[in-house]
Structure 1
Amino acid sequence: MRHFSVLFLLAALIMGCKKKEEKPTVIQEETKPDFVVAFGSCNMPQEPNPFWDDILAEQPDVWIWGGDIVYADTEDMDRLRSIYAMQDTVSGYAKLKAEVPIIGTWDDHDFGVNDGGASFAVKKESQQVFLDFMGVPQDSERRTREGVYASHDYQTGAGKLKVIILDTRYFRSDLVKDEDPKRRYQPNMADDATVLGDAQWAWLKNELTHSDADFNLIMSSIQFLSGEHGFESWGNFPKEVEKMENMIVQSGAKGVIILSGDRHISEFSKTNLPGLAYPLVDFTSSGLTHSYFSYSGEPNKYRVGDVVSDKSYGIINLNFKDKEADMKIMGDNGVVLQELKQTY
């Protein structure tokens, strides 16, 4: 009887193993994006940046600087060059730079003066130092025109992306101080007040109108939709906001997404424009090495989700077939702090 029990137990174990083997585990592989965009702003090379390895792990097809690459705030071009050079010695960034194309714009602190604009005395000299850092060839047309604006086209087997880099510093009119102590600036309603200047506006119109890209990303550096907080934004120039919105609608450009930085916070803003077949999103990603840790709230009628006041960077996964952009605010070690998916 004991032998029978042992044989029965062995048979049961064998049958149990066979039964498990008959149920294969199905592993669903995550669909790889057609194109991956990584971007961020507000970076001090002398401060630790925990993200460079995470960004490289995302296997981005391009890295876009959203401004404040360094904090120089100087009219001394030798000092500005030395601070940019410091950024190039950061090992994580050097690895990214060796494997991924780097493009982008400046903002006030790498431009040379806090909240600076067209009146900055050495903006021409600062432009050349910026172009040196970005590796722009000496014979490029960007060396002879005013401003650091540019466009970049990326053709893939699945579709096409255009990245439009704006310069919101070189031509920008003076800001108007606000007497309210809770606000820094109030709207400049002058007829000739501008963010981009005539030449850049004409260039942008041409880029959007003639774009055949499936997605058109516009890097603004300063926020476009969020303008109630009283700090720097396009909202300080309401007529320029209206001009940009009309241009986007009238151009017929597909999949326009605005990228911004500057604020040391990250957030999504979204609105529906009459005549535009899809919502306009402003994806703010700001605070690579320092963030608005004392953030306690501010108005933004276009906000989607919550403000992220932790250090972060942005990822946009583009799917050309489904016309979908998966936008993520990313924390350290690949943690998704917030996500917005939008079809176009």
Structure 2
Amino acid sequence: MNKVESTDFVLAFGSCNRTDLPNLLWDDILNTKPNVWVWGGDNVYADTDDMEALRAMYTMQNENKEYKKLIKKTEIIGTWDDHDYGLNDGGVEFEAKAESQQEFLNFMNVSTDSPLREQEGVYSSKKYDLEKGSINIIVLDTRYFRTAITLDTETDKRVKPNEYGMGTVLGEIQWTWLEKQLNQSNADFNIIVSSVQVLSNEHGFEAWGNFPHEADRLEKLISSSKAEGVIILSGDRHISEFSQTQIDGMNYPLIDFTSSGLTHAYKGFTGEPNPYRVGDVVFTESFGTLEFDFSSKKVDFKIIGNNGVVLQKLEQSYQ
């Protein structure tokens, strides 16, 4: 699966990666010749406030033979989710979050003098200026500031949406930063990385839909900012799927591309509601790629499994 001539930039991403399970996908990821690899969260499964244990898992991942090859050839960026953050379904209440952040930044090979070392939360951005165009990757932290979710005691779902206006996913400091990122962006494409799904909101697990006012705020910001080519990447769910919706003021659909998981998938998946779904759900191990063509302002989205098999694809023009 080599890069075709019309592809100017390849972004590969994935989430939900256990160090104690075989990972058969790194060679396939390498074969897509990505310009960047984006971790979407749950990069290891630690669930701990013991920083030595967390560090040992990150070290184990870094020692994976095929992943080492990716590190040498490709820039690595990304975010975390609850299991590498350290607390299942955790948020602002996790007492070891500051220490965990430093271990995460070590894993991502962030320099010791980077401003990210002093910042609360792992949100960041990276702009790629290429000969034919530019891409801004905006990485969100949906853990550090996220307030309590509401357990669902009435149905068989795990959680239910908070009352409208109650709680936050990003916290005001991060919201201000995100508004600046989008309002001031001159990039041809703006990729927003969220560890949890933004559009799919009826499954009863973690999602932006549990904070409906925050989901509405994000959609309004994306539209009002006039930032070009906005795309959302998400993980967490152990399934991969495409979701999309049309937002007032935008001349293209907002796509939320979920890619999960790298080492273990929801093999028993029998279906769940998602009013925004396009195509079929993939519930085997997979990763995602986005192939950008600047001249036609087109993106090819692919869900890829073992041996480079394309399990699902989507094409979208951003003219």
Per the TM superposition, whether the score is higher than 0.5 is yes
Please report the RMSD computed on the Cα atoms of aligned residues, expressed in angstroms: 1.0
Query: Do the aligned residues in 1 keep the contact of 2:165 with 2:211 (CA within 8 Å)?
Result: no
Q: Does residue 122 in structure 1 map to residue 122 in structure 2? A: no
Residue number in structure 2 paired with 1:34: 8
Q: Cα deviations across residues 275-307 of structure 1 (Å, max 9, x unaligned)?
A: 111100000000100000000000000000010
Structure-1 residue corresponding to 2:263: 289
Partner residue of 2:183 out of 206, 209, 220: 209
1:262 aligns with one of 236, 239, 250: 236
TM-score by length of 2: 0.98
* Aligned-residue offset at 1:181: 3.9
2:302 to 328, 335, 338: 328
> Aligned in 2, Cα 1:273/1:331: closer, same or farther, shift over 3 Å?
same
Name the counterpart of 1:311: 285
Task: Give the aligned partner of residue 150 of structure 1.
Answer: 124
What is the aligned partner in structure 2 of residue 97 from structure 1? Answer: 71
Please tell me whether Structure 1 or Structure 2 has the larger radius of gyration of its CA atoms.
Answer: 1
Cα displacement (A) at 1:138: 1.1
Identity over aligned pairs, percent? 56
Match of 2:85 in 1: 111
SS at the partner of 2:241? strand
Q: Which letter does structure 1 place at the counterpart of 2:213?
A: K
1:239 to 213, 216, 234: 213
CA distance in 1, matches of 2:12, 2:156: 33
State the alpha-carbon separation in 1 of the partners of residues 10 and 154 from structure 2. 42
Could you give the per-residue CA deviations for residues 198-242 of structure 1, whole angstroms, max 9, x where no partner exists? Answer: 000000000001111101110001000001001000000000000
Cα deviation for residue 101 of structure 1 reads: 0.2
Higher share of residues assigned helix: 1
SS at match of 1:290: coil
User: For the residues of structure 1 that align with 2:271 and 2:293, how far apart are their CA atoms?
Assistant: 34
Deviation (angstroms), 1:145:
1.1
Cα distance in 1 for partners of 2:34, 2:150 equals 39
Equivalent residue letter for 1:248? I
Structure 2, unaligned runs of 5 or more: none
* Alignment-mate amino acid for residue 117 of structure 2: R
Question: How far is the alpha carbon of 1:192 from its aligned partner?
Answer: 4.7
Structure 1 Cα separation of the partners of residues 59 and 155 of structure 2: 38
Q: Tell me which amino acid in the other structure corresponds to 1:242.
A: D
Q: Deviations over 1:116-167 (max 9, x none)?
A: 0000111111111101111111111111110000000001111000000000
CA distance in 1, matches of 2:109, 2:4: 35
- Where does structure 1 lack aligned partners over 5 or more consecutive residues? 1-28
User: Whole-Å Cα distance in 1 between the matches of residues 75 and 152 of structure 2?
Assistant: 41
Q: Deviations over 1:72-123 (max 9, x none)?
A: 0001011100111000010000000011000000000000011100001111
Compared with structure 1, are the counterparts of its residues 191 and 181 closer, same or farther at alpha carbon in structure 2 (3 Å cutoff)?
A: closer
The whole-number CA distance in structure 2 between the counterparts of 1:142 and 1:270 is 32
Aligned residue for 1:183, secondary structure, equals coil
